[in-house]
Amino acid sequence: MDGWVTWHRQTEDGAVESEQRVALSRPVVEFSGAGGVELGSAYWREVRRATRSLVRPREASTSLELRLLGSGPTLLRFGPPIVEATQTLVSCAYPIEGGLLARQPSGKIIFEQRGGVTPTVSSTIRDFFPRLAARHGRPIWTGALYDQIQSRAHVAISRRYFKRLISEARM
């Protein structure tokens, strides 16, 4: 993949922010509400594939849950998707509402495609307080589990997600 960019940081208050982005030769979804829904749905399908169904997304009427083996404990719970579409931007954002891997309901995960001379697609986490990350005022090594497992899993899934979006693009 050309133009692959990834970064990760922890804010002073302990929130985690992360972004993975790749440059595209052409858009992979329509700049429409349906395109935004596809960005979100494709990511959750990739979570299931990448974990060999160990982690499965389960949709409820007002939330999406990532559950261990589909019926086990809720690892992460997200609110309903917020889709935005213009002629040059399409996004699908899920507010983080809780789960075993969240210290508190806060933040969101956003899947976005931007148009322009060099279109891009990205996966971004903002203002998330993971249970496994270092807490504010604590030594950074206390967040090693998050850095070595949860954060790396998200980056790996994002790479797979981008590759699949590009290979399956119908535009």
Q: What is the pLDDT of residues 23-81, one digit of tens each?
A: 999 999 999 999 999 999 999 999 999 999 999 999 888 899 999 998 899 999 999 99
Contact 108, 81 (CB under 8 A): no
**Is residue 140 classed as helix, strand or coil in its secondary structure?**
helix
Contact 119, 23 (CB under 8 A): yes
Cα-to-chain-centroid distance, residue 102: 14
Q: What pLDDT does residue 155 have?
A: 86
- In order of start, what are the domains of the chain with their CATH numbers? 5-168 (3.30.530)
Identify residue 93 by its one-letter amino acid code: A
Pick from 31, 123, 128, 121: nearest CA to 78: 128
Contact 94, 81 (CB under 8 A): yes
Q: What pLDDT does residue 46 have?
A: 95
Q: What pLDDT does residue 169 have?
A: 86
At 110-164, the pLDDT tens digits run 999 999 899 999 999 999 988 876 565 555 555 555 666 667 787 889 999 999 9
